Amino acid sequence: MIPEMKDPLHNGSNSFDDDIPDFRELFIHNDDVNELTHVLHSLVTVLNIHPRKAVEIGFAAETEGKASCKVDTPERCQEFEAALSSLGLTMSVEEIGEQA
């Protein structure tokens, strides 16, 4: 008789979703209050992104009303949202793919 082999990749759960990490998306919203230079400097400093990426995000927010800044864990997105909001930026954290 052949012994039953266990799948080393299967942890006993019946759902592959159990192994997928939970992520959220951080958005910046266009406003009529902040100067573009302040927005770009804040994004570069807080999110540690390249200035060119900050310009892309700023332009997208300006033309589309909001722009995705980062995808990360809910906790990290909340930390980034709080830091950027404290600098006067209008931010939100949404589930990935959520349309507002």
Token pair 């793919």 is found at 97
R_g of the chain, CA atoms, integer Å: 19
- CA separation, residue 31 to residues 6, 10, 12, 91 (Å): 56, 48, 49, 10
What are the pLDDT digits (tens) for 25-83? 999 999 989 999 999 999 999 999 999 999 999 999 999 999 999 999 999 999 999 99
Tokens 């592959």 map to which residue?
16
Q: Would you state the pLDDT for residue 44? A: 98
Say whether pLDDT at 2 is over 70. Answer: no
The pLDDT value given to residue 97: 75
Closest CA to 42 of 33, 30, 54, 53: 54
DSSP string, 10-46: --S-S-GGGGSPP-EEEEEE--SSS-HHHHHHHHHHH
Residues ≥6 apart with Cβ < 8 Å to 3 = none
The pLDDT value recorded for residue 21 is 72
> What is the pTM for the complete model shown?
0.77
Pick from 96, 99, 86, 100: which is nearest to 26 by CA? 96
Residue 63 confidence (pLDDT)? 95
